[in-house]
Amino acid sequence: MSEFFTRERFGKPQFLAGLLLLVFLGQCLWLASRDVHASGTVEFGELTRVQQGLEQWHGERIAGTPYAMSVQKQPSQDPDRSSYFENNGGYDAYHSPLYYLIASAPLLLWPGSLQPGTKPYWGGLARAPYLVFGVLLGASLWYVSRRLYGNAGGYIALTLYCFSPGIIRGSALGFTHLEIAAAWGAFGTIFTAIAVAHTLYAPREVVLWNWRRILLLGLSLPLAVGTQFSLVITIPAALAFMLYLAPARRAAALAIWVASCAIAFVLLFASYSFRPGVFWEGIRHATFLGINWRVFARPGAYRQVLSHLGQMSPALALALPVAVITYAVWPRTRYFGNTAPLLVAGLCVLLGLATPHYPGFGFELIAVPFLFVFVAGVAADLLETPMRSLVIAFLVGLLGAYALWCLLELARVARA
């Protein structure tokens, strides 16, 4: 136990990162509390998530499908189901039952009914999983950025994250689709796959030694795909990174990837209560991408995506162009640690552009943490140049103004 609590694991950098995450959590709690107290009504999307999830927890139905849990019962005809579900045969085209089970899990502790008058109580419980996911995604982003770029890169990435309006809204507000769980799953999938590939050169028994990372990858995949079907793209993306990074150990990389996919399949299948027929129908009715190629010919679609990214993190409007230009003109920045998050973020932005409606916004949200990592990597490289003083002044001014603006906007919520 004494070897675990070392200065390397719990030193000054971790303490400062923890303080930033506490500030992030405080902002989320503030916004969530204002949301649950502001309205006397309950949003349909939030209520649907919670009610269907609770019904599955209580053994009544499989969430996101028209099927009751009992084998003898026929598919239910719920008059309260939206036209969206009816038009898709009663199935949720974008989420597995895991999406509903996560949303409703804390409400197993709630003894009352889901009435508007008690929303300040059960509404707070309903936000709890996403607040946890938001903090965990921030911690993961800090860990990855610090390992790749040192303390400076970790601080830059985490500051961008902790004061991101889009991340805060995605973690705190119930009327959104709450893609923060999918974002953490996608982030964990990509960087766990990269970490696994880097360990394959160690002179140890590959599969047995990597069982923790295999399990982590197996947990990240269903969290990503189960909460947003379109993130099935992370499965081949993870394999591509593993094969690229371990060309001499591709058989071992493939074995680890298959083992992780098997774990992910079992967990996703479990969310359908191990009902193969319902699972197959759910997958058959799923919309994995739904790309609209015509949007690429519409200039307004590009402006919309850029506007969304700017709204999710205003600092990116200035920091990202600088980072991209630096990456393009300075060969030193074009290494794998910077290129990988840029590639993933670029893919997510393209998919967000190609799916202008849902799940396009989810792709844009998922791209933002990868963009934070990329910007932090380029900034850390610039800090090692003779222009260090100028770069520090730029970063302090940008991040300071960014944090202050976010806090002032939250203060305005209280007066609204």
pLDDT tens-digit profile of 55-92? 898 888 898 888 776 544 455 555 444 545 556 778 88
* pLDDT tens track for 374-405: 999 999 999 999 999 999 999 999 999 999 99
Q: Which pLDDT does position 101 carry in this prediction?
A: 92
**In the predicted structure, residue 143 carries a pLDDT above the cut 50:** yes
Give the pLDDT score at 83: 46
pTM over 0.85, yes/no: yes
The pLDDT of 261-285, averaged and rounded, is: 92
Is 272's pLDDT higher than 90? yes
CB atoms within 10 A of CB 132: 17
Residue-level length of the chain:
416
- pLDDT in the model for residue 72: 42
The yes-or-no verdict on residue 282 having pLDDT over 70 is yes
Q: For residues 297 and 307, which has the higher predicted lDDT (pLDDT)?
A: 307
Q: In whole numbers, what is the pLDDT of the chain averaged over residues?
A: 84
Query: Would you state the pLDDT for residue 344?
Result: 96
The tens digit of pLDDT for each residue in 106-131 reads 888 776 666 666 666 677 788 888 99
Cβ-based neighbours of 147, under 8 Å, separated by 6 or more: none
Rounded mean pLDDT, 342-359: 86
- pLDDT of res. 1: 45
Higher pLDDT, 86 or 251: 251
pLDDT number for residue 240: 95
pLDDT at 134 over 90: yes
Q: How far is CA 122 from the centre of its chain?
A: 24
Q: What is the pLDDT of residue 60?
A: 86
